[in-house]
Amino acid sequence: MTEQELIACLLKGDENAFKTIVNTYKKMVYNTVLGFVQNMHDAEDITQDVFIKVYENIGKFKQQSKLSTWIYRISITQAIDFMRHKNRKKRAGFLSSLFGANNELLHEPVEFIHPGVLAENKERSAILFNAINRLPEKQKTAFMLQKVQDMSQQKIAEVMQLNEGAVESLLMRAKGNLKKLLINYYSSI
């Protein structure tokens, strides 16, 4: 079944077409989201949200890009929205803790060790993920797509709706900022 046929079937509400889409793209969506949220349970919940969005909004998909590109965009938006919401909650928790509320759990620093990272790199990757979280959103998105999804600059540009030059610049700045953060980190220990 071609992509167009799959979309046409989904527009008619075909359950099998939806199942095919979920099974084709679930690994891609799950890994993209996991890179952003750095929590396997949250990543699975968001992956479900992404496919519900795909099902509900397939009528709005104009087919000017590939279905996978559109699904990538939804995944990134959902993951970033989740992180914004989580950070807002953290800030609110911090403010309420100033007034005596008990919010210790919200403030626990989270160290994420990605199960897919090579054994000898696990400790370093946790430090890198912490540094990635300090990057501005666009730099983080471009860097994660390149590292986690192994995407080319051209594909990143397509997903982020930017030109290739802008993506190259984002990646350069992301790497520069990460290097500064890591040098500061290693100088301080």
Partner 1 sequence: MKNQQEIEQMAEQTLNSLNNMQQLEANEYLHSKILQRMNDNRKVVPMAYNRVMLRLAAVMVVFIGINAGSFYMLKQSDNTVTVKKAANADAFANAYNLNNNVDSY
Answer for which of 8, 148, 162, 166 binds partner 1 (CB under 8 A) is 148
CB of 107 to partner 1, least distance (A): 25
Between the alpha carbon of residue 19 and those of residues 6, 9, 54, 62, the distances in Å are 10, 11, 12, 21
Answer for which of 8, 9, 106, 127 binds partner 1 (CB under 8 A) is 127
Answer for which of 85, 89, 107, 124 binds partner 1 (CB under 8 A) is 124
Return the HEC string of the chain: CCHHHHHHHHHCCCHHHHHHHHHHHHHHHHHHHHHHHCCHHHHHHHHHHHHHHHHHHHHHCCCCCCHHHHHHHHHHHHHHHHHHHHHHHHHHHHHHHHCCCCCHHHHCCCCCCCCCCCHHHHHHHHHHHHHHCCCCHHHHHHHHHHHCCCCCHHHHHHHHCCCHHHHHHHHHHHHHHHHHHHHHHHHHC
121 binds partner 1 (CB under 8 A): yes
Smaller CB separation from partner 1, 131 or 166: 131
Binding mask 40-59 for partner 1 (x = CB under 8 A): ----x--xx--xx--x----
Of 1-9, 73-81, 87-95, 112-120, the segment contacting partner 1 by CB under 8 A is 112-120
Smaller CB separation from partner 1, 102 or 187: 187
Answer for which of 42, 93, 103, 114 binds partner 1 (CB under 8 A) is 114
| Binding interface with partner 1 (CB under 8 A) | 18-19, 22-23, 26-27, 29-31, 34, 44, 47-48, 51-52, 55, 114-118, 121, 124-125, 127-128, 131, 147-148, 175, 178-179, 182-183, 185-187
